[in-house]
Structure 1
Amino acid sequence: MKKWVLITGAGRGIGAATAKHLASLGYKVLINYRQDSASAETLKENILSQGGEAHTVQADIADQSQVRRMFETIDQAYGQLTHLVNNAGILFAQCRFDDIEAERFRRILDTNVLGSFYCLQEAITRMESGSAIVNVSSLAAVTGSPFEYIDYAASKGALDTMTVGLAKELAAKNIRVNGVRPGLIYTQMHADGGEPDRVDRLANQIPLQRGGQPEEVAHAIAWLLSEEASFVTGSFIDVAGGK
């Protein structure tokens, strides 16, 4: 079957690395972005130049109506979705728990939890036996990310719970749902949190003594989507250097 994969938040970082890697493996890639159309188009052109197939689809996944429109566009223009990588996520500046404002927490949940929920609901109505989903979580779901991003960690903990529950609901249909939990990875997201060099500062706390690259997470995602992982569902790969 043709493999159509939608990657949310694919314009940069782990999403972009995953898009390139999956395209090299023969997937037809749908690059979702919220507002940075230039990055998404550059990524698409890069994939096309390497002989792959890619298309851009705009939607803010925190908005359910935009998610529905995006999936309807995919139905009409591209074909049946077979794979989903729920990668889009946001965080805000580092702070202690008692300094987190309720509106900030709501915005985190709207994208990281509800946005993933909307995409999952739309995707599973279109998927058939042999399809697969990977939810991109974070090691913060395990550590709690104290003094920095407890709200972000909580959102990823919720995503992990959805991953396990949905995997069990869809197992009889042979639709697999798994997660990856990246640790300290060199992406632009650390700048969003106010510390672009965060990985370098904390690298000595990682057993492998270095930060990870987006491509290393992309390879884990690709394996979980592949038939090589056909007996794996409701599971997680921690891409965190042993932390």
Structure 2
Amino acid sequence: MTALAGRTALVTGGSRGIGRAIARRLGRDGARVAVHYGSNEAAAKETVAAIEAAGGAAFAVHAELGVPGDAETLWAAFDARADGLDILVNNAGILGEQAEIQDVNAATFDRVLAVNTRAPFLVTQHALRRLRDGGRIVNISSVLTHGPAMPRSISYAMSKGALDVLTRMLAKQLGPRAITVNTVAPGVVDTDMHEGRLVGAALTWLESLSPMKRLGTPEDIADAVAFLASPDGRFVTGQWFDVSGGTLL
């Protein structure tokens, strides 16, 4: 497919899991993909190699998120390899401490918000002067912002809820430039973020949350992002897409 031919995309957290699937799908659709990574250079190189092996174009950019100067570092690395942006996918995030509010550690809470909320805000702020008219912004949130099925994920859900607000605000602001801004909200997706948790009775319960009786896959999320990034998504903006297999039904 060549729906995104001639366009440049940046996927934060693009080296593994959902981010890798998104990067590979956008690359397959013709975009040149900047694969951001925070610490795992080998995984980023593997993702770039996979995109190139499939006939696409990609390059890796490194920046630790959630620290002072993170957005500036990321965009300096991007600018060294690309001239302008068409698609920004704010995917990078951490699960953080799994605890109910009375047991949440303040330092851990701050870290989750720094990576999941502050970083995408600043990355997007710096992206706007690079993002061409007609561009796309897709924020990866969570169905937990609309349904408290897992009280022990309160810090994570709060951090992602802010992205939902960012989506609506930016959609209004950037509409005159024909830039669409949308949220994709996965349920539980089978990635290494949940390593060690998706077993036994816990796995059975998580699968039961969806009428389809399975967990999501990274590709399920990537395909939804691809639609929003494509010309077919040109008149969809400010929306919250539940891509959880019906978890909230």
Q: What is the TM-score with the length of structure 1 in the denominator? A: 0.94
The letter of the residue matching 1:162 is L
What do residues 56-98 of structure 1 show as CA deviations (whole Å, max 9, x unaligned)? 0000122352321321232232221111000000012422221
Picking from 76, 93, 98, the partner of 1:94 is 98
Q: Distance in 2 between matches of 1:142 and 1:103?
A: 25
* Aligned residue number for residue 53 of structure 1: 57
Q: Distance in 1 between matches of 2:53 and 2:128?
A: 31
The letter of the residue matching 2:33 is V
Residues 61 and 118 in structure 1, CA contact (< 8 A), matched pair in contact too? no
Q: Distance in 2 between matches of 1:59 and 1:145?
A: 33
Q: Distance in 1 between matches of 2:203 and 2:20?
A: 19
* Aligned residue number for residue 7 of structure 2: 3
Q: How does 1:150-229 map to 2 (within 5 A)?
A: 150-191=154-195, 195-197=197-199, 198-229=202-233
Picking from 20, 42, 50, the partner of 2:24 is 20
Residue 147 of structure 1, CA deviation = 3.2
What do residues 19-50 of structure 1 show as CA deviations (whole Å, max 9, x unaligned)? 11111100001000000111111111111111
* Aligned residue number for residue 65 of structure 1: 69
**Kindly tell me: are residues 200 and 14 of structure 1, through their superposed partners in 2, closer, same or farther at Cα, counting changes over 3 Å?**
farther
Q: What is the TM-score with the length of structure 2 in the denominator? A: 0.92
* Aligned residue number for residue 105 of structure 1: 109
The letter of the residue matching 2:139 is N
Q: Distance in 1 between matches of 2:203 and 2:24?
A: 23
Q: Distance in 1 between matches of 2:203 and 2:86?
A: 34
Q: How does 1:34-45 map to 2 (within 5 A)?
A: 34-45=38-49
Q: Distance in 1 between matches of 2:41 and 2:104?
A: 30
Secondary structure of the 1:134 match is: strand
Residues 64 and 115 in structure 1, CA contact (< 8 A), matched pair in contact too? no
Task: Indicate the percent of aligned positions where both proteins have the same amino acid.
Answer: 38
Provide structure 2 residue ranges, at least 5 long, that are not aligned to the other structure.
none
Q: Distance in 2 between matches of 1:204 and 1:144?
A: 16
Q: Distance in 2 between matches of 1:72 and 1:13?
A: 25
Q: Distance in 1 between matches of 2:29 and 2:180?
A: 19
Secondary structure of the 2:15 match is: coil
Judge which range, 6-15 or 143-152, deviates more: 143-152
Residue 165 of structure 1, CA deviation = 0.6
Q: CA RMSD in A?
A: 1.5
Provide structure 1 residue ranges, at least 5 long, that are not aligned to the other structure.
none
Residues 7 and 85 in structure 1, CA contact (< 8 A), matched pair in contact too? yes
Secondary structure of the 1:131 match is: strand
Residue 209 of structure 1, CA deviation = 1.1
1:241 paired with 2:245, answer: yes
Residue 200 of structure 1, CA deviation = 4.1
Residues 61 and 119 in structure 1, CA contact (< 8 A), matched pair in contact too? no
Q: Distance in 2 between matches of 1:139 and 1:64?
A: 29
